[in-house]
Amino acid sequence: MDPAELTTTVALLRRWLTDLGGIEVKAAIRDFPTSAPESLSAFANGDGGCLILGLEESANFRPAPGFNAVRIRDALADACHDQVVPPIRLQKPCHVKARGEFNGSFIRGGDGDQRLTATEIFLLHANRGQPSEDIAPVARSGHDPMDRRPRPGRPHAGTVHGTRADADGTIDHRRPAATARARQPGSDHGAR
């Protein structure tokens, strides 16, 4: 966030008199706020957000007296790397390390952080990448499930789009597959 964006954002916070959905403000006067990792988890698990440190919400978002920017910056970097798992920007779900995945994963809700449900955590895991369940072997399938050779119990296994596969599995397009024609009662259509 550049200085112009920060000025606009602070003016908006002052007008609304509260944090916004994608913005969390903490005074961080003496130490790094203990609730900041929850906000980091919430932003990382959602659509992102902005954590502004050094302003007091209770004082209409004015600079917090005694705020030590260098110390808090270093603590923020530490929190992004060591207090949330995985470290910020790598993957979801992101959770507060000390609280564990199911008690420490959050998402932004209004101007606060809401704990993720087990289902939401599962979905974040599932959405990490390309699903791989479809490449697992099918139980009781043979070595080559695409084998089209006819076998006992599979008399039409060799039928491929109107052709019949030879015994070695190759397709002979000159030899049409046998087709059945339905007969309607009282009609000789389809009879040959």
Please tell me the total count of domains within the chain.
Answer: 2
The pLDDT mean for the chain works out to 77
Confidence category of residue 47, pLDDT binned at 50, 70, 90: confident
Q: Are residues 33 and 78 in the same domain?
A: yes
Please give the DSSP secondary-structure letter assigned to residue 98: G
Name the residue with higher pLDDT: 125 or 34: 34
Angle at 92 between CA 109 and CA 50, to 5 degrees: 45
Check: CB of residue 15 under 8 Å from CB of residue 8: no
Q: Is residue 183 one of the residues assigned to a domain?
A: no
Residue 153 lies in domain: 147-178
Q: What is the pLDDT of residues 8-21, one digit of tens each?
A: 999 999 999 998 88
Q: Are residues 85 and 163 in the same domain?
A: no
Q: What is the pLDDT of residues 90-123, one digit of tens each?
A: 567 888 889 988 998 888 776 788 888 988 888 8
